[in-house]
Structure 1
Amino acid sequence: MESAAEGIEGRSCLLLRYASQNSLDESSQKQVQNNGSREKPPYRNALHTNKAFETMNIMRKQNLLCDVKLIADGIEVNAHKMVLAACSPYFHAMFISFEESKQDRIVLKGMDSNALTLLIDYVYSCEIYVTEENVQMLLPAANLLQLTDVRDACCDFLQCQLHPTNCLGIRAFADLHSCLDLLATAENYIELHFAEIVECEEFLTLSHEQVLGLISSDKLMVSNEEKVRIELVEPFTTRGVKFTSVLHSV
């Protein structure tokens, strides 16, 4: 038979457990209320996107779940429409609205195959090497696919390459592809280094009108205008070009 002391002890334990549970419930309710008034930010895995793209790139190289082949110069590049559409406005429009959305082979006319390969690698890896050898094919291809970050990287690269021997060509290239910042930088460089530029071979490729356009600027930085006058006349005289109007502009 249970003693009176044991009965009292048992009831005390029950009361303690009940009180503890009530305290826990009250604490939980307060915590919920506090969380409601000041929400904590969600857990975010900073590496999640990188890992996902790394896996998709591996799958692309193994031709797993690829649903489109991009073709340039007869070279085929496997890819996933979803990835292309997410990263390129050009492909987004193509696969959402146009007839190509139903096709699994897309021929990109006028696209350099090496540039296409580099750009699709970039879409999956977020990395691309811009070099002297590939920048002239890479920039127009990036323009076409509307990969503006790659285009801007190409423009930054060309800005760093500006030199009296190539600035005229870079300016023409920037103008052709509507790279306005690069164009402005090249024109400013030409104005600052004009006396050196007229001594370079690239200057000889300019037309009469192009030379007039250059020397009509009042921002040209030249320390010896007579030297520039002579440099302007000599190369074009050998080509049989009459530069009376040019001389009047100097």
Structure 2
Amino acid sequence: MDEDTCICNSVYNELRLEQELCDAVIIVDKTEFQAHKVILCNCSPYFRALFTHWSTPDCRIFEIPNVTPGMMKLIIEFAYTGFVPVTHENIQELFIAADQFNVKGIVQACSDHLEGQLAPHNCIGVWWFTDIYYNPELKNKASLFTLNHFEEVAAKSDEFLLLSAQELANLIEKDQLNVKNEKTVFEAVLRWIGHAQEDRREHISLLLSNVRLALMSPDYIMDSVTDNELVKASKECRPILLKAMEAMLDLRTRRFSSNIFDNPIARPRLPSAILLAVAGWSGGSPTNGIEAYDVRADRWTNVTHDEVDHRAYHGTAFLNGSLYCVGGFDSVEQFSTMYRFELATQTWQEVAPMHSCRCYVSITVMDGQIYAMGGYDGHDRLETAERYQPSTNQWTSIAPMHDQRSDASCTTLNGKVYICGGFNGSECLLTAECYSPETDQWTMLAPMGSRRSGIGVIAYAGHIFAVGGFNGTTRLRTAEAYNPQTDTWHAVPSMLNPRSNFGIATIDDCLFVVGGFNGFTTTLDVERYDVETGEWSDVRDMEISRSALSCCVASGLPNMADYAYPRSPLQFSDDEKEELES
């Protein structure tokens, strides 16, 4: 609301409070409210119709039923001030009253409040509420919240137990259902049935047909699914289990053959987050290629946009639904520029440049701001650092590091920025330091066990992992982890392959390393480390072989399907449709 509007509203409200120039008296349950017709007309189509079509021009007194005086007071005050106090205690009654009188501003305020309060224990209730009081935007957000937090909802929510069989079937059949392990879905079905077993046991086949059984381990299928008393007692479950066994065989012999994505019992669900590998050095020159890794399907998808510049040795960050591409090198010049790609609308925009040109730059995000440190400006290796505030579109210099660093890598943990390794113009570094925004100071840490330039650094499992890189002689497979509590480094298992100048990120509780240079050539291979098992394992290769790329993880996207491996709409046979509808 602009300043002139606020002043105007303040004048009108003073007139109302002093009961001057009022031309309407609203009576609710014997309580009178003086008001100006034109102000109420501006607030609500209901009042406009009341004053212009449902009454004569000289009518001043209007009795309004089916609302409390307290709610009418809030509506009238909102009409004059543009503000309404939304609380946990009044929100349901306020929403209903605002819907009844079509006060869109209050409906929006209530929707915003409900969205901000969404939690695993209440998201289904909000979803039900929007079935009664039509609000498609809030309904969609409540539905997405339920899908994204399904594991917590299914385990702890009392509302979950009150779903109808068809509502639960509709929920668990969705690709967007966020579960790391499909057994979570089966166990949720058992919890729901167990709440009223005698009444609900007949629904086991309907619900089991929407569980992606073929994504479970064979041991779990045999021990926990086929041996379950509800499943064994239902003859309709037998063909479902048979189809699951056939799909599991196909899955393990052909590793995600294309028909798997059309099979409702084996189709991987959409991931809740996507790993993006952006640009880099490929085939002797920079590329603009962007690939997205779908961790549920173990597949890469090319999502390149032609508007993106070809660049390498840059940095990327994901913040507020956007991908930022920072600095870098196009084989001719070093860049200070930064571009923002809004992932929902798939549009690029150039935003404020850094104070310095920076290729071989280190980029991270903390507290809603992007940090850019070190790099090479075409003349010198830099110790300077700066941070970007999206709300003001401005870069601000922060304290310089102790060491000049290009080809370093950085991350954040517990409110501090950590940067490790790199190259100072004469040697590969084993030093590390951390930055505190509260003091605007850098503190030197215990040095790493190895010199590492072209290193990958990431916060994982409460430690700072320093992986791979170049020690001045060879590309490294080794990795080490820093404990901030003890200021010490310790060795962790080595990667399967040596690499420098690669992408690094954590997703799905694992650490991923992507591409890089292995000492002989750029590579497209990808591997991951699971701290629970202490092992590295291969995952699917990228399509583009490259080094000097940058990776980040994007989550919470409304259009996640645009970046996940393509899944065509599920097709059911007539028999399957009949079974689902029964």
TM-score by length of 2: 0.33
Cα distance between partner residues in 2 of 1:215 and 1:100: 55
CA distance in 2, matches of 1:246, 1:202: 18
Aligned to 2:121, which of 165, 179, 183?
Answer: 165
- Higher strand fraction: Structure 1 or Structure 2? 2
Partner of 2:148 in structure 1? Answer: 192
Query: Helix, strand or coil: the match of 1:99?
Result: coil
1:223 has 2:180 as partner: yes
Equivalent in the alignment of 1:55: 11
Q: Distance in 1 between matches of 2:187 and 2:4?
A: 64
Map 1:33-182 onto structure 2 (within 5 A).
49-99=5-55, 101-182=57-138
Asked if structure 1 preserves the Cα contact closer than 8 Å seen for 2:98 and 2:107, the reply is: yes
User: Rg bigger for which structure?
Assistant: 1
The Cα shift of 1:194 comes to 1.0
Q: Using a 3 Å threshold, how does the CA distance of structure 1 residues 49 and 161 change in structure 2: closer, same or farther?
A: closer
Separation in structure 1 between the aligned mates of residue 4 and residue 195 of structure 2, nearest angstrom:
65
- Whole-Å Cα distance in 2 between the matches of residues 183 and 54 of structure 1? 35
2:207 is the alignment partner of 1:246: yes
SS at match of 1:212: helix
Distance apart, 1:74 and its partner CA: 4.4
Structure 1 residue 49, shift from structure 2 partner: 4.9
User: Residue 161 of structure 2 contacts residue 195 of structure 2 at CA under 8 Å; is this kept in 1?
Assistant: no
Corresponding letter in the other structure for 1:227? T
2: CA distance between counterparts of 1:248 and 1:204?
A: 19
CA RMSD of aligned residues (A): 2.3
Q: Secondary structure at the match of 1:230?
A: helix
1:147-184 deviation line (CA, Å, top 9, x unaligned): 22222122122111111111111112223222111111
Aligned partner of 1:208 among 130, 146, 165: 165
- Supply the distance in 1 between the matched residues of 2:43 and 2:178 (Cα, whole angstroms): 44
Summarize the Cα distance change of 1:205–1:77 in structure 2 as closer, same or farther, 3 Å threshold.
farther
Question: AA paired with 2:92?
Answer: Q
CA-to-partner distance for each residue in 1:174-203, whole Å, 9 max, x for gaps? 232221111111111111111111121111
- Alignment-mate amino acid for residue 188 of structure 2: E
Amino acid at match of 1:163: A
What's the CA shift string for 1:123-160, capped at 9, x where partnerless? 11222222222222222322333322222122122111
Q: Distance in 1 between matches of 2:56 and 2:28?
A: 15
Distance 2:63 2:173 in 1: 45
> What secondary structure sits across from 1:109 in the alignment?
coil
Q: Which structure exhibits the higher relative contact order, with contacts defined as CA atoms closer than 8 Å and separated by 6 or more residues?
A: 1
Query: Scaled by the length of structure 1, what TM-score is found?
Result: 0.72
Gap change, CA 1:72 and 1:172, over 3 Å in 2: farther
Higher helix proportion? 1
> Tell me, which stretches of 5 or more residues in structure 2 are unaligned?
212-582
d(CA) in 2 for partners of 1:48 and 1:108? 32
The separation in 1 between residues aligned to 2:47 and 2:193, in whole angstroms, is: 48
Q: How many residue pairs are counted as aligned between the two chains?
A: 205
